[in-house]
Structure 1
């Protein structure tokens, strides 16, 4: 019996310490301290078990062991209930099953010995234990579900062209462009991935009044249908990252990036368009290993190990482990990873992102349908959202302002 209590003490301490020491919210820290406190009680119960199974010099040793067995049953029930939601293989599962079975056996034995008879008010004792278990379960639900969802999460993006200037020595125009990202909510935010693109658009015009052209195709591909434009074409002028994977913003904090776009004076563009897009994650839902995520792995370099793939399209891979804000989730699930892929051509580049249990390997193909379901589930769990903004300016208006 003593061995089961010691194992329960170690498990509760291991589960509670990360939340107690490093959780971002008060409720999460309270959950961690409750598990550490429960582990301390299990340690006392283990000492009491030594006396209860020996000389029984302490009158209440059996009752203390009973408390320890009840704590083990309640906590292992929480672990198993959480594990059953997704039933993923984890190294902790055999320990949960072993301790759950042990707690049932220990309670059966202690009730058979009627150890509660030495307790002055056994009904009040039972009520107190039940309320403590209910409090632990409620606090877990609050810290894991309600509290991380209730705080508003807003990340605002803006893009703005400035006043252009002519180059005194070269036939170019310099167009200032300012991108800004601001965390206007109450929750810190990770930037998982971002990009900016600047396009030049040229078009052929017509005075025909026959209605919107190609409106079906425009709706299908999410671009504009215009009456007097017969054909348009866009070309990428500038592209890059705004901050890069692993940047973060605290509430009220902003980040500005200023650029200067160079275009020829005799440019044939009608419009300039700038877009800024990024994927953000709530920091109160999880903690990312930023040292891992910020490291770039080019797929064309052999030294990158499992990320190397000579026959694959060239891409740059970022990957970092992510831990949930509640450590109970971490010990009842497989490890999760944030994966970011950069790929493209000489004309344009794009990104893909995911949070899943899949460790990316370009030479292996997982079950795509299962992976899609997992990615959707994990993005909701970790509060992942996409943001974008765009702005346009007439090249004719720029020329007039010179």
Structure 2
């Protein structure tokens, strides 16, 4: 007919049944007590209210965490699987919001028959999701802002399940075996979807960036002693996923060689290979000089599949040039966009190291260089909440003899007194799908002169 936790609650039930308000609870003629007397009641108000508060607080905190984790993926992920993972987390958070309301009924009057089952579902969701977060965190064990939250929620979920099992909540479930099977399958589905969206899919899609560099037909300057040599550089995304360009460069060299008639060129092949140049039979010594250098597109440019970018330049060399060969190289470092998202406004801004107004980018002892830095987030937000923030750092430096760059994706924020961890850089390059591409082409100066 009803349930009561205290004498006042019992009197309320009896009033609803038509009994007088002044009924004597000790009158054995109208009331029969079984197993215990009227002086023993199961309710401990402070204990029940504390347990209710803890149960609801854990469910609400878990709801907030799952919503925070799932929203960026649901609204901004590039792939369908990653968006499904985000929506799955948001849906799980909504279920936990309902479970928090059900906990208020379950720990109170239990007017809703299945309130305990709803709370059980919420606790199981918390246990599964916090286990995934903890497992991901244990891979690298980095201190993060979210770590105390999912560690606390993992412990809370164990306590909540223990309390619910002690209360035999499954007795109210019509088909407990089917319920347990459904929860287990949901957990397996969530784990599989996470593995697919975070590991398999960003690896299986092909990623190709094709580079081209070629010389055009030269022309003489009618008034000045120059030869104008056209150059065409092209970068094309021939893969299936969009790509960021983290850093790039083009270089044009002029090579001068000393020739030998006694075939001494191959005798010094060891030094040639160590120096990274060719060992040639009739060339005893060769040197190169940089004629032109620069950036192709610059950090923060991106290419969608099938999209290309062309840059045309004109190289000016004197008519009395002493070079034997002209060599052009194009190098690009690209990152898969289905692995991460970069703050392009930050990355595209160049910070000259020689200007004091640049703050922490100023470096009096460093060689002159341009510094680019931008925050990068993984496209699976579970990775972001279990790791420290990651940054793309690009250093572009040069002088009259040499031009080059360095790059890194790591937790390192630029500081001239520190260096990033080499092992971490290698791991992050693999995680975000960073690849380097380069191409080169050569042309004989004699052939260019003959075509004028």
**Equivalent of 1:265 in 319, 341, 345:** 319
Deviating beyond 4 angstroms after TM superposition, the runs of 4 or more aligned structure 1 residues are none
Corresponding residue number in structure 1 for 2:98 = 44
CA contact (8 A) 1:218 1:224 kept: yes
SS in 2 for 1:158: strand
- How far off is 1:19 after superposition? 0.2
Cα offsets for 1:175-222 (capped at 9, x unmatched): 111000000000100000000000011111011124613211222222
- How far off is 1:348 after superposition? 2.4
SS in 2 for 1:213: helix
CA contact (8 A) 2:351 2:372 kept: yes
Q: Which runs of 5+ in 1 are unaligned?
A: none
Indicate yes or no: 2:143 matched with 1:89.
Answer: yes
CA contact (8 A) 2:250 2:293 kept: yes
Corresponding residue number in structure 2 for 1:285 = 339
Corresponding residue number in structure 2 for 1:247 = 301
CA–CA distance in structure 2, aligned partners of residues 208 and 41 of structure 1: 85
CA–CA distance in structure 2, aligned partners of residues 397 and 365 of structure 1: 50
Corresponding residue number in structure 1 for 2:80 = 26
**Equivalent of 1:391 in 419, 437, 441:** 441
CA–CA distance in structure 2, aligned partners of residues 209 and 169 of structure 1: 42
Indicate yes or no: 2:431 matched with 1:381.
Answer: yes
Q: Which runs of 5+ in 2 are unaligned?
A: 1-54
Q: How does 1:2-401 map to 2 (within 5 A)?
A: 2-210=56-264, 212-362=266-416, 364-366=417-419, 371-401=421-451
CA contact (8 A) 2:264 2:282 kept: no
CA–CA distance in structure 2, aligned partners of residues 346 and 200 of structure 1: 14
CA contact (8 A) 2:264 2:283 kept: no
CA contact (8 A) 2:375 2:389 kept: yes
Larger Rg: 2
CA contact (8 A) 1:16 1:31 kept: yes
CA–CA distance in structure 2, aligned partners of residues 266 and 313 of structure 1: 34
TM-score, scaled relative to structure 2: 0.87
Instruction: Give the root-mean-square deviation of aligned CA atoms.
Output: 0.8
CA contact (8 A) 1:239 1:348 kept: no
- How far off is 1:162 after superposition? 0.5
**Count of residue pairs the alignment pairs up:** 398
SS in 2 for 1:99: helix
CA–CA distance in structure 1, aligned partners of residues 369 and 326 of structure 2: 28
